[in-house]
Structure 1
Amino acid sequence: MNTINVPTRDEVSPANQALFDKLKAGVGMVPNLYATFAHSEHALGNYLQLQNAKSSITGRAREVVNLVVSQVNDCAYCLAAHTVIGKMNGFTDEQVLEIRGGRASFDPKLDALARLVKNIALERGHADPALVEAFFAAGWTKEHLVDAIVVIGDKTITNYLHATTRVPVDFPAAPALRS
């Protein structure tokens, strides 16, 4: 059961209505989780600024972070959305499942990222120094490390918002991980 409703365009502030219009024009819909941010006058705009900020973690690497963190946090909404986005970024169904498990054996650089991100998310930021060193050895930089942590924070925000509100998932459900 939902703890709060998904607001419609007519139920949100004029500033959020403009953001709804921009989202609808850009992605064809206002995802329920984004609409939920609009219960706050400022949260949707602030979140979109964070999500769209410049970063050295982009494209496929960003989806690795999104999928790993969403799996660690068991967020059905974000797993569904990022499974779709991951496939749009060229990952196969099998690769998406592997990434969700914290590995990317098909790409050594993404594997180091996935392994470190899983460790950071599980250990609440207390990363295993060996995984940090493996991340750097795979060709990532200090800038990438800092930006990856920002992306972890970004994804944790949406994971927590969904876990608390339980708004309906409006993407195809992500498949279960195999044991």
Structure 2
Amino acid sequence: MSRLTIPESIADAPHASQSLLEAVQGKLGMVPNLFRLVGNNPAALKGYLSLTESLTEGILPLQLQEAIALAIAETNRCTYCLSAHSFIAANLANVPEDEIRSNRKGLSDDAKTQVALQFAVAVAELNGRVNDQLLNAVKQAGFSDAEIIEIILHVALNTWTNSVNNVADTEVDFPLVIPF
């Protein structure tokens, strides 16, 4: 059971969140618990949805976005996000199961992706205080400054959702994946 209230339905959410949650339901066919939980604060829900939508127009491919989400969820031991992003990676980004397991460990069969994941995990673990060697490695792997900023933004967004779910102990509504 969640340690923070998750509205049972869209109608139970604050009025200002209801239309936002209806849009989520229209897009996903359901309203995952995370969205209903964040919907307790309409401004937070609006910001989360806006940032998430903005990142769909970003530079990084969906597979890398999901790899980052998996690595950060594992780093932060967030069962909810690990379960959600394992499902998304497999079913929407068509990432093979062995690659999903590797991504959770900050690894990848693709050398460029692995450098990005090592950088992302370091950003999370070091609160952005990465050394020149890590920054140069991600640049030498072929990532532009714009892509590096987007990697950092994915780390920040996923750290935020991990924190929300870890504080709330949000009930998982995806196939359950337990951190290593």
List per-residue Cα deviations over 1:65-86 (Å, max 9, x = no partner). 1111111110000000000111
What percent of counterpart residues are identical? 25
> Within 5 A, what are the aligned runs for 1:98-117?
98-104=102-108, 106-117=109-120
1:37 and 1:44 in contact (8 A); partners too: yes
TM-score by length of 2: 0.92
User: Match of 2:42, SS?
Assistant: coil
Instruction: Say what the alpha-carbon RMSD is for the aligned residues.
Output: 1.4
Query: Aligned residue for 2:38?
Result: 37
> Within 5 A, what are the aligned runs for 1:83-162?
83-87=86-90, 88-104=92-108, 106-162=109-165
2: CA distance, partners of 1:158 / 1:81: 11
1: CA distance, partners of 2:62 / 2:4: 32
1: CA distance, partners of 2:132 / 2:63: 24
Displacement of 1:128 in angstroms is 3.1
2: CA distance, partners of 1:96 / 1:175: 13
1:168 is aligned with what amino acid? Answer: E
1:119 and 1:128 in contact (8 A); partners too: no
1: CA distance, partners of 2:122 / 2:32: 29
2: CA distance, partners of 1:46 / 1:136: 30
Matched residues, number: 176
2:106 and 2:121 in contact (8 A); partners too: yes
Query: Aligned residue for 2:49?
Result: 48
Query: Aligned residue for 2:74?
Result: 71
